[in-house]
A and B are shown apart, each in its own frame.
Chain A
Amino acid sequence: MILAAPAFIAYLAAAVLFILGIRRLRSPETARSGNSISAFGMLIALGTTFFINGVLSLPEILAGIIIGGSIGAVSAQKVKMTAMPQMVAAFNGVGGGAAALVALSEFYRTDALGSGNEGLVAAITSVLSILIGSVSFAGSVIAFSKLQELFFTGSVSFPLQKALNAALAVVVIIVGANAISNGAFLPFLSPVASIVIVLFVSLALGVLLVVPIGGADMPIVISLLNAFTGMAAAMSGFVLANNVLIISGTLVGASGTILTRLMSSSLGRPLGKILFASVSGAPKKKEDEEEKPVNSVGPDDVAALLNYEADKVIMVPGYGLAVAQAQGAMAELMNVLESKGKEVKFAIHPVAGRMPGHMNVLLAEADVPYDKLYDMEDINDEFAETDVVIVVGANDVVNPAANDPEQDSPISGMPVLNVDQAQHVVFIKRSLSPGFAGVDNPLFYDQEKTMMLFSDAKQGLQDVISAVKSG
């Protein structure tokens, strides 16, 4: 189908708005307007499509948009800030699924009904769109489930996993080639049957690729799957000979790939290691370990430490702080300690809260001045001269096991805050359970250095505040 000139120009305008939108998302000042510009572009593209294609089957298109749009809007509005990453995974997954279904529908129309876009390129890109879109869909479902802690949490591995993945990839290539060549390789399989097999095997591949990866790496995986969905959309654009799909999908595919690399390098986690090495580095099972003793304390002990032994205090907020909405209590503890003449700083790990930038925003909301918030690289050398570090609801980001070359764990090589170099460390944490990555923290069991205050983040901080005040 060759588009009429007005529609072509409208699509082009939409693509330009997407590009301008992404450009403005590079700085915090312009990011919001960037997203609005891109949304406006989307409105133009959808409106155009609606008018040139929608007339024939208006009711079901409208119904589909209303149903899908309401589900999207309600879930996006209701989701808690702490659950943002899995929400993005979910929306990414359905996008990949849509791309695969569009290609499947076109392939079926061409092959069985003789009315779609014929030609070798359309057939090849159909198979690619179904492959990439299905991997993205299934992978996103698993990523969602891991982050939501539904099933497959932690890193799941089994023997011959890589061999199975390779075998499935070979199946996809052979059956896909069979679909493209109209049954030249496997005459007993019709092209439509072949493409359906490609779809299901790709779904299995998507599950198998993400299942062995630990929860801490999920943001990077979601970013990669985001790039996949973009590519799947671009491939569907070739199938439908539609330029706006090709441009926008490719933009997302390419920028998503770069973003994935940026994210993985800022976390010190090479992409290859995340995708292929996690199978071997499964964490030890906890059951066969003895219960190790810890130095469990009450709020009064923490208050005594802060009142009499601390001049310089660094606070480390983590995901648990965000969940408990304890940023106000943390800010109050800062005020109380400062009124007693102590120096207080905050150390922010790049992925604290599972989302870059999350902690800065929460603490700003609680009136903690920006100049007290330090990034990891700016503060890591200061821990050695710090008296007390208070870690609230964080574990993986302060786990010294990540720096231990002897240990092969899912967080090996991840840069962490060097809180183990401080004189004393206080953990305010609900339980001893290992963090999101499923790795035990040796610091918990250092009874000389570490105090464990088992409590909800907010309650624990409030107890410490009143104990410090009365002490």
Chain B
Amino acid sequence: MSSHLLLLSEFAVFVIAAFLGFELISRVPSLLHTPLMSATNAIHGIILVGAMIALAAPGNAFTKVIGFIAVIFGAMNVVGGYWVTNRMLDMFRIRPAKRKKARSR
């Protein structure tokens, strides 16, 4: 694929993903606003993919240091993001019917 075509296809992906993102979050109860924010926060931890590529790419000491910090940051975002979201959603597990069980946990 020529680089010109590659760019156009990337741009198409960008536009479609933007519309999809808008459509996905149309009506969400306010109860779930914070967990949803936290869950999407974990998803942009995907930047760790970019950080790994940057660190693996040929470079010098400067790019290695920057790439290393970026990998640490990205890993914090991914692991911490999913972990915190999970803990938040754990709180929703307690439903009226199951409350007795949840308390004896």
Contact = CB atoms under 8 A, between A and B. Distances in A.
Interface of A: 2, 14, 18-19, 21-23, 25-28, 31-32, 34-35, 38-39, 42, 45-46, 49-50, 53-54, 56-57, 60-61, 63-73, 75-77, 79, 81, 84-85, 87-88, 90-92, 94-95, 97-99, 101-102, 104-106, 108-109, 113, 115-116, 119, 121, 219, 222-223, 226, 229-230, 232-234, 236-259, 262-263, 266, 350, 355-358, 360-361, 364-365, 367, 369-370
A73 B92 CA distance: 21
A219 B30 CA distance: 12
A21 B25 contact: no
Given A226-B44, A255-B24, A87 B82 contact: no
A364 B94 contact: yes
Given A250-B13, A251-B21, A365-B94, 19 more contacts: A25-B36, A38-B43, A57-B56, A61-B52, A64-B72, A69-B76, A70-B79, A223-B33, A229-B44, A230-B44, A256-B40, A258-B26, A259-B28, A262-B28, A263-B30, A356-B33, A360-B31, A365-B99, A367-B103
A249 B47 contact: yes
Interface residues of B, number: 87
B77 A72 contact: yes
Nearest to A229: B44
Given A61-B56, A92-B41, A108-B63, A356 B24 contact: no
Contact of B50 (A50, A121, A237, A247): A237
B6 A2 contact: yes
Q: Which 8 A-B pairs have the closest CB atoms?
A: A254-B21, A68-B75, A72-B80, A64-B71, A76-B83, A72-B79, A68-B72, A95-B77
A25 to B, nearest CB: 5
A224 B67 CA distance: 26
A79 B88 CA distance: 11
Given A18-B43, A113-B60, A259 B37 contact: yes
Given A115-B59, A241-B10, A81 B84 contact: no
28 contacts: A19-B20, A22-B40, A49-B53, A57-B55, A61-B71, A64-B71, A68-B71, A77-B87, A79-B84, A84-B88, A85-B34, A101-B73, A105-B67, A116-B57, A121-B7, A244-B46, A251-B20, A252-B21, A253-B21, A254-B17, A255-B25, A255-B36, A258-B22, A262-B33, A266-B33, A357-B91, A361-B94, A369-B96
Contacts, number: 382
Nearest to A41: B43
A358 B47 CA distance: 30
B43 A88 contact: no
B73 A262 contact: no
Interface centre among B38, B44, B47, B86 (most CB of A within 10 A): B44
B54 A106 contact: yes
Nearest to A99: B47
A364 B59 contact: no
Contact of B87 (A23, A76, A367): A76
A356 B31 contact: yes
Contact of A69 (B38, B39, B75): B75
Contacts of A356: 30-34
B74 A95 contact: yes
Interface centre among B20, B32, B54, B94 (most CB of A within 10 A): B54
A84 B50 contact: no
A370 B50 CA distance: 45
B66 A104 contact: yes
A243 B50 contact: no
Nearest to B96: A370
Given A73-B83, A101-B73, A54 B56 contact: yes
A50 B75 CA distance: 13
B50 A242 contact: yes
Contact of B39 (A14, A22, A250): A22
A53 B52 contact: yes
Given A361-B92, A361-B94, A95 B41 contact: yes
